[in-house]
């Protein structure tokens, strides 16, 4: 950079750099790429950088061009795989970048990239939520009084392991995330409990 500013350095016509494969120390977690921000100290039509990428969702070889940087300052490049102008992002487990640098006829000029930032978010695990209402009868029902049911629901809400909910012959694995409801006062032991059960799917197969 000092040689460039002083005008005494000579630069090659082209150059390239490849990153490692980023998984953000979250291999096995699906992420969604949004965009990159490229900050250039020097860039023109002649002195430019082509940004390319590949992911675990594509072929092991070859690159997809994300954009060309031809201006000083910050440039935003959004992931828009279908090219419709409404960047939908790109799901990935790992991401790899390549930068191809080029200059014009003047060997004292070269593109200078100051910073490159990759913006993404972790995709939440898919889940289903069930709301279940249980009536607490003052009379014993199937040998389970209202107090027994209350105590059992409390233990389930504090369980450290996943629970199994059977609903319409389907088995769901998840957590009892909240309980609410009302109770009678005085000697009235009736009431109800409203439960929220969040189910996490069980997946099979191997990661990419």
49-81: pLDDT as tens digits:
999 999 998 887 899 999 999 999 999 999 999
CA atoms of 110 and 133, how far apart (whole Å): 68
CA atoms of 78 and 207, how far apart (whole Å): 26
Could you state, in order of their start, the residue ranges of all structural domains in the chain? 2-122, 128-199
Q: Record the pTM.
A: 0.70
Split at pLDDT 50, 70, 90, the class of 207 is very low
Q: Are 11 and 108 in contact (CB under 8 A)?
A: yes
21-54: pLDDT as tens digits:
999 888 888 999 999 999 999 999 999 999 999 9
CA atoms of 115 and 76, how far apart (whole Å): 12
pLDDT at res. 208: 43
State both tokens at 110: 């070269």
CA atoms of 199 and 191, how far apart (whole Å): 26
pLDDT at res. 141: 54
Higher-pLDDT residue of 185 and 64 is 64
Span of 11-15, 89-93, 123-127, 195-199 with lowest mean pLDDT: 123-127
Domain 2-122: which CATH number of 2.60.120, 3.40.50, 1.10.760, 2.60.40: 2.60.120
pLDDT at res. 131: 94
76-130: pLDDT as tens digits:
999 999 889 999 999 999 999 999 999 999 998 999 999 999 999 998 888 889 9
């Amino acid at each position: 950079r000092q040689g460039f500013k002083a005008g005494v350095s000579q630069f090659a016509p082209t150059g390239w750099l490849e990153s490692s494969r980023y998984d953000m120390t979250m291999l096995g977690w699906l992420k969604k790429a949004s965009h990159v921000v490229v900050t250039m100290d020097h860039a023109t039509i002649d002195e430019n950088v082509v940004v390319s990428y590949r992911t675990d969702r594509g072929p092991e070889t070859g690159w997809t061009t994300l954009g060309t940087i031809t201006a000083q300052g910050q440039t935003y490049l959004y992931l828009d795989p279908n090219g419709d102008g409404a960047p939908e992002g790109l799901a990935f487990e790992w991401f790899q970048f390549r930068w191809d640098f080029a200059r014009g006829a003047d060997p004292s000029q070269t593109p200078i990239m100051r910073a490159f930032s990759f913006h993404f978010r972790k995709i939440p695990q898919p889940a289903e939520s069930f709301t279940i209402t249980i009536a607490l009868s003052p009379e014993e029902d199937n040998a389970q009084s209202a107090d027994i049911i209350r105590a059992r629901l409390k233990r389930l809400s504090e369980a450290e392991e996943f629970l199994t909910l059977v609903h319409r012959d389907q088995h769901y694995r998840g957590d009892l995330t909240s309980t609410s409801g009302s109770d009678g006062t005085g000697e009235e032991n009736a009431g109800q409990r409203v439960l929220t059960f969040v189910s996490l799917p069980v997946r099979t197969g191997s990661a990419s």
